[in-house]
Amino acid sequence: MAVLITPYTDINATMRGIRTQVIDSLDFCTNEMPQFETPGQMFDNLKLMITYKNDPEGVELLQSVPTLFNNNYWGTSGAGDCDCFSILILSMCVVHGWNKQQIVLAGRSKLAPVHIWTRVNYKNTWYDMDLTQPHFNTTRKYKFLQYLNV
């Protein structure tokens, strides 16, 4: 179970940390998490398991899936922010064999993303999987979006 806590430096460091946390999450997602038939079913069920909580001031907190649910940094199972939830979705999609994914970086300027979520291609259709949103396949509007293939 891993928690990566570092002073926030830049998005590149965050992306490297997300990759590490996804890899560390795969066994737990395979053995301990429920299986789902569709991305919509996954979203709806995971949404019930999480609670949004901002990172501590000036810190980038990236929780692996086992840490998000067991031994959570905040002491509340499922408490995390958009990058923790992206780690959860990325890991769960890999375990389900839905391997065509994108990370979406969103912001008000080109150089400073303020939000992240995941998209998955399921049966040749892209679906947004932003667990900070109330509903499946919905997003907030941002001036700048960057799509990174996973």
Q: What is the pLDDT of residues 41-58, one digit of tens each?
A: 999 999 999 999 999 888
Tens of pLDDT, residues 5-25: 565 666 777 888 899 999 999
Q: For residue 103, what are its two tokens?
A: 């990370």
Alpha-carbon span 109 to 120, nearest angstrom: 25
Alpha-carbon span 16 to 27, nearest angstrom: 19
144-149 β-sheet, strand order = 125-129, 113-122, 101-107, 144-149
Q: How many domains does the chain have?
A: 1
Range of the domain at 70: 3-149
pLDDT score of 69: 97
Q: What pTM value is reported for the model? A: 0.92
**How buried is 40 (Cβ within 10 angstroms: 0-12 exposed, 13-18 middle, 19+ buried)?**
middle
Alpha-carbon span 36 to 45, nearest angstrom: 9
pLDDT score of 2: 63
pLDDT score of 58: 84
**Beta strand ranges found along the chain (DSSP E):** 3-7, 51-52, 59-63, 79-80, 101-107, 113-122, 125-129, 144-149
CATH number at residue 18: 3.10.620
Sequence letter at residue 19:
R
Binning pLDDT at 50, 70 and 90, where does residue 1 land? very low
pLDDT score of 3: 59
